[in-house]
Amino acid sequence: DKAVPVLREATKLNPNNANSQLFLADSLINLARETTDSAKKKSLFNEALQVATKYRNLKPDDYYAVNLVGKAALGAQAFKEAEQAFTQVLELKPEYCYAMVNLSKTYIAGEKWAAAEKISRQAIQCAPRLNAGYESLGYSLQKQKKLEEALEVYKQAQAIKQSTSIQKLIDVVAENIRRRDENLSMDEAERAQQEAAEAEALRIAEEEAKLEEWEKSQDD
């Protein structure tokens, strides 16, 4: 919070100083993440995106500059721009694990569950001890109703690093599985009852037909 005003002034005095733009964008992102005021958070991320874009323009082939744009865009909820940025980062630096995780978060924000699952799996392969990759994978699986897989992934994340938020997700998925199985059991019971009722109705109809046929034979 103390660095930001000074860095703003520095970028005004020398707009082409890449380091000033870098430090300001980075400080704005950190400040935005720390604040709990939603309006202030949005304003800071939007400013960070503008500054990060200026920095990237000064260093267009620098993966870190492009990644900074992606982080600011993700925070500003400019998801299309974030997706483009993180995709470009991975073109410039294919094994940048954090960019994979951030791209998965971007896909999740856009409800692109299958794409989020794919890049999350790549992130886990890239950094097997990075908890965020497991969280993104678990959530993308959960949204695709792959509940058993999601539960196992969340448990893996919890084994790496204990987290109350992950434990809540484990509890939610476990409860969803229980309810789903309970509903399936009820559906199966209702289906069995319906089939039994239909079979009984058919048996009665056949008995009535036989009786009617017998009565006709007696009249003859």
**What's the pLDDT at 78?**
96
Does residue 5 register a pLDDT over 80? yes
Q: What is the pLDDT of residue 182?
A: 86
User: Cβ(103)–Cβ(86) under 8 Å?
Assistant: yes
Reply yes or no on whether the pLDDT at 60 is more than 70: yes
Segment 59-86 shows an average pLDDT of 96
| pLDDT computed for residue 217 by the predictor | 67
What would the pLDDT profile of 140-187 be if each residue is shown by its tens digit?
Answer: 999 999 999 999 999 999 999 999 999 999 999 999 999 888 887 665
Residue 187 CA from chain centroid, whole number = 30
pLDDT of residue 211: 64
| Predicted local confidence at residue 181, as pLDDT | 85
Provide the token pair at 48.
């960070």
- Side chain identity at residue 56, one-letter code: R
Q: Tell me what the mean pLDDT of segment 89-113 comes to.
A: 96
Where is pLDDT greater, at 11 or 212?
11
pLDDT in tens, 108-153: 999 999 999 999 999 999 999 999 999 999 999 999 999 999 999 9
Give CA 150 to chain center in angstroms: 12
Structural contact between residues 153 and 176, judged by C-beta atoms closer than 8 angstroms: no
Task: Give the per-residue pLDDT at 219.
Answer: 64
Q: 24-59 pLDDT, tens per residue? A: 999 999 999 999 999 999 999 999 999 999 999 999
